Amino acid sequence: MFDGRVVEVSGARAQLYEGRTTMFVATACVVAASGGLIFGYDIGITGGVTSMDASMGQFQKKFFPVVERHKNLRTDNHCYYDNQRVTAFMSSLYIAALVASLAASVTTTRYGRRPSILLASLSFLIGATLNAAAVNLTMLILGRIMLGIGVGFGNQAVPLYLSEMAPVKLRGALNIMFQLAITIGILAANLINYVAARIHIWGWRVYLGLAVVPATLMFVGGLYLPETPNSLIERGHLEKGRQLLEKVRGTMNVDVEYEDLVEAGKKANAVNHPFRNILKKRNRPQLVMAILLPFFQQFTGINAIMFYASVLFQTLGFGADASLYSAVVTGSVNVLATLVSIFIVDKWGRRVLFLEAGVQMFLSHVVIAIILAEKFGGTSPQPPKGFAVSVVIVMCIYVAGFAWSWGPLGWLVPSEIFPLETRSVGQSISVSVNMFFTFVISQAFVAMLCHFKYGIFLFFSGWVIIMTFFVYFFLPETKNVPIEQMINVWREHWFWKQYDPPAYSSFYEGEDKSNGHNGQFLYRVENESFRFTPIGSQRQRAQS
């Protein structure tokens, strides 16, 4: 029942969408999110195989003998991995993912989200097989490149798939399942590394080859995945799109959401050059976010935290088991905190998590730097156990903050802010930027660690301050906003509205039985709000 009052755009529109979270859509989202398992496993592999002791396996001896020599000579512990062969292995995946994500935008737009997910799983399978069978560094890096292609296609398509399939009020939670899968993949990789490192000679092959397991699950599951209603309607399959929308929402009453999708599809089909279109002034806010959010995510300092964790556990007397305890503690905190984000992201919103975690991560960086500056460093670091324990605790506090903010939200927000006509391209740009700066960090991190030592935490703390202020001033709240109505969020924002001022939008029908009225009304977006205009029973539409 409409009473003619002015209401907030995003909230009012969300209330008009009907449906529930069906088992069908939940199952589809779980299958799609499994792509994060492979990405997380690959992240774990990056650090795991390079840190295998040569006495436990032959990987370092075969591919990175310089690292082994540095350890035997007791080189500064910060500088073990300052070697170009190591950085080439670590970074080749991210360069391949950068290029592949741009190519994936074409596949995802023309053929749908599902084909990109299948291509990702096939690339993962090939890459894992090559890595497990590698006889030289060239073959190893080629396998990493194939894994990178899988990452590019998967990270481009999966977040889009999740955001489009999810009901508006649970979009954040279902999308963060991708990040949850990443954290589980990292934890699994570290635990498997601990076991594989104790298998003489060929343990590393088991470790690398096990990536085929999640890749196979993703491919088999992908064969049964439905396409998203958004993609079907964008590609002209209106009836199929409507039928699928009714199925995933569990109701026949999907008129409002269907109209939004059809309208968005028309606009998308009117765009011939998406990359050129995204550079237009009206798309400036989303483009800025697609670039800066993944950039900031990589400069939170998570790599420094994960590197130091294993070293600190050695000082606590765990010796050869240090890597296992480090993986279990930091990895478990990572998983649990991501679960926390799933439960609160659609209640508290994105901005609250970003801002709270910004303060939490900044203080953690500063405290760690102070403690390490006093008690840690050099060629034989032996700080008192009490200090090491305190640093581990602070590190866990940091990891928790990252895991319920920049970890999952760095993927969620870019996938939900673009209109349909630029969504695939926008997500590709976001993934490409993420992979580029992951590459930069992987190339520079070991050298920075070698030269900055504890100062690396102060370096990242400065970036945390910058990104937190950026979120406070420039990132609007996107919770409970229908994905095809997200444009209104930018039109309401104090800064971004200058690039696409509020204007009349499409009119929709409704009934008003209040105050003695009994007739058809239309409501429209006007000056950032819904207003109602009586028109009788005939529908009229106005273009902005």
Residue 190: exposed, middle, or buried by beta-carbon count in 10 A (0-12, 13-18, 19+)? buried
Cα–Cα distance for residue pair 40/46, rounded to 1 Å? 10
Burial 69-93 (b: 16+ CB within 10 A, else e): ebeeeeebbbbbbbbebbbbbbbbb
CA angle 418, 471, 494 (to 5 degrees): 75
Cα(511)–Cα(355) distance, rounded to whole angstroms?
41
> Tokens in use for 409?
């939200």
What distance in Å separates the CA atoms of residue 231 and residue 110, rounded to the nearest whole number? 9
Using an 8 Å Cβ cutoff, are 131 and 143 in contact? Answer: yes
Q: How confident is the model at residue 375, as a pLDDT?
A: 65
At residue 49, the pLDDT reads 59
The per-residue b/e assignment along 363-396, b for 16 or more CB within 10 angstroms, e otherwise, is bbbebbbebbeebbeeeebebeeebbebbbebbb
Residue 31 in tokens: 């299958």
Strand order in the sheet with 7-8: 7-8, 529-534, 519-526, 508-512
| Pairwise CA distance, residues 128 & 120, whole Å | 12
Amino acid identity of residue 388, one-letter, is: A
pLDDT in tens, the chain (544 residues): 333 333 344 445 666 777 777 888 888 888 888 888 888 888 777 666 555 554 344 676 777 666 555 555 554 554 555 556 666 777 788 889 999 999 999 899 899 999 999 999 999 999 999 988 888 888 988 998 999 999 999 999 999 999 999 888 889 999 999 999 999 998 888 888 777 767 667 777 888 888 898 899 889 988 988 999 999 999 999 999 999 999 988 888 888 889 889 988 888 888 778 888 899 999 999 999 999 999 999 999 887 777 667 666 765 666 656 667 777 888 899 999 999 999 999 999 999 999 999 999 999 999 988 887 876 554 444 556 667 778 888 989 999 999 999 999 999 999 999 998 899 999 999 999 999 988 888 777 767 777 777 888 899 999 999 999 999 999 999 998 888 888 889 988 999 999 887 654 444 444 544 444 444 444 443 433 444 444 333 333 333 3
- Return the axis-axis angle of helices 350-375 and 322-348, rounded to nearest 10°: 150
Q: Of 315, 440, 478, 303, nearest to 382 (Cα)?
A: 315
pLDDT at res. 44: 78
- CA-wise closest residue to 480 among 173, 253, 157, 21: 173
Euclidean distance between CA atoms 414 and 434, whole angstroms: 11
DSSP string, 175-201: HHHHHHHHHHHHHHHHHHHHHHTTSTT
The confidence score (pLDDT) of residue 169 equals 87
Given this model, what pLDDT does residue 83 score? 58
Give me the pLDDT at residue 40, please: 87
- How far CA 491 is from CA of 279, 282, 447, 505, in Å, comes to 17, 10, 44, 12
Number of continuous H segments (helices) and E segments (strands) in the chain: 24, 4
pLDDT, position 121: 93
Short-list 278, 290, 279, 275, CA closest to 411:
290
Structure tokens at 337: 């905190």
**What's the one-letter identity of residue 419?**
P
SS3 81: coil
The tokens for 528 are: 């950032």
How many other CB atoms are found less than 10 A from the CB of residue 198? 14
> Residue 398's pLDDT is what?
94
CB–CB of 173/349 below 8 Å?
no
| DSSP H helices in 417-529 | 420-452, 455-474, 487-492
Facing residues of 510 across strands? 521
State the SS3 of 135-172: CCHHHHHHHHHHHHHHHHHHHHHHHHHHHHHCCHHHHH
User: Do the Cβ atoms of 414 and 178 come closer than 8 Å?
Assistant: no
Report yes or no: 97 and 428 within 8 Å, Cβ to Cβ. Answer: no
pTM for this model (two decimals): 0.82
Note the pLDDT of residue 536: 37
Look at residue 467 in the predicted model and tell me its pLDDT. 97
Q: Tokens representing 513?
A: 């039985």
Q: Which of 160, 175, 164 is nearest to 350 (CA)?
A: 175
Structure tokens at 319: 């010796």
Closest CA to 175 of 460, 385, 473, 479: 479
